Structure 1
Amino acid sequence: MAVPATPWKIPPLIKAYEALGAIGDGRVRIEDERRATVTSSDGSKTYEVETSADGREIASNDNASYWQGYVGYPAIAVLIARGFYRPPANVTDALAGVAWKELNRKYKNDWTRTIADVEKALEQGGHDPDAVRSEAEAVLSFLRALRPVRGKRTRPAAERPAIKIR
């Protein structure tokens, strides 16, 4: 008898924002029909994501997926890049260039404050923060409907060592 697959927890809303931003930045690279990589917003890490053909089975080596047990933003971004969910371009474009790691550090991973900062910047940039929030919430609804399960568990990606310039 097969062991039932472990379902992923649904992530906090910020992870949908981060995934949409990764799409806007073009940080997702599809390697083949199963494998993809996602570069972090500051370029210090590259995450490896594997998905099944239907997108339900997901393996990702980002910290949130490994330690918190929810679908991390790299996996969400890969599902979007593979066409399982299609956000409007104006939303992904609006979230391009956000320094997520820097903001999350600034606010000590208080994601409500990070989102508030991003929404303020969106408004100042002429974008509709309510439309972006609505799309991020729709991404989480998509994940609830997908009911993704865990693929193989892989250790988190390490930061690339700093390059010393002489």
Structure 2
Amino acid sequence: MPLFKKFPPIEKILEAYTAIADGHVKLENDQALVTSSNEAKTYTVTFHDNTYTSNDNASYWQGYLGYPGIAVLMLQGKLPYSKELAQQFAGVDWNKINQEYKRNYAQAADAVMTAKGIDKKKAETELHHVYNALKQLPIIVKRGSLRPPKAN
């Protein structure tokens, strides 16, 4: 049973795929550094036992685990992810697209899948698989002491 109250929008999984496909996640002993899709910011995800913090805006201000934390969980093997699907989302500047769609993450994801010719039904099936696994994870998501970074 998950130990966090708020769940991220399901589309944040796609942003985690981009971070992984673009090599933007650097795992260390008890933390990871995750560079944003436009490379303007680097977020810090910390983990100890089953407690995770991240200083991305979603985790810090909204109280749900943002894409940097999701990407870390995938690379740690705690969440499933499709390497094939992740590669299809390589090179996406989510910051720009999310601004374009005024943070309507569903519309932004739809636009990216259309532009890249990604099989939406297959992608959505995979997203639900990962999202359901996330809902079952026995992890604690807390607000860390690090504030969100400013753009580089």
1:48 aligns with 44
Percent identity between matched residues is 38
Decide whether the 8 Å contact of 1:17 with 1:95 is kept in 2: yes
CA distance in structure 2 between the partners assigned to 1:8 and 1:40 by the alignment:
25
Give the stretch that moved more between structures: 71-80 or 7-16: 7-16
Q: Which residue of 1 is the match for residue 24 of structure 2?
A: 27
Tell me which of 134, 141, 147 is aligned to 1:150. Answer: 141
Shift in Å, 1:66: 0.8
Aligned residue number for residue 102 of structure 1: 96
Secondary structure of 1:142 counterpart: helix
Distance 1:22 1:120 in 2: 20
1:115 aligned to which of 109, 112, 118: 109
Q: Answer whether contact 1:8 1:71 (CA < 8 A) is retained.
A: no
What is the Cα-based RMSD across aligned positions, in Å?
A: 1.6
Q: Highest CA radius of gyration, 1 or 2?
A: 1
Query: What stretches of structure 1 of length at least 5 have no aligned partner?
Result: 1-5, 161-166
- The equivalent of 2:59 in structure 1 is 65
Alpha-carbon separation, structure 2, partners of 1:98 and 1:8: 29
Give the aligned partner of residue 163 of structure 1: none
Figure out how many residues of one structure are paired with residues of the other and give that number: 149
Report the equivalent of 1:10: 7
Gaps of 5+ in 2: none
Instruction: Note the C-alpha offset of 1:152.
Output: 5.1
The TM-score, its normalising length taken from structure 2, stands at 0.90
Q: Is the 8 A contact 1:8 1:147 kept in 2?
A: no
Which amino acid is 1:129 matched to?
A: K
| Counterpart residue type for residue 156 of structure 1 | P
Runs (4 or more) in structure 1 with deviation over 6 Å come to none
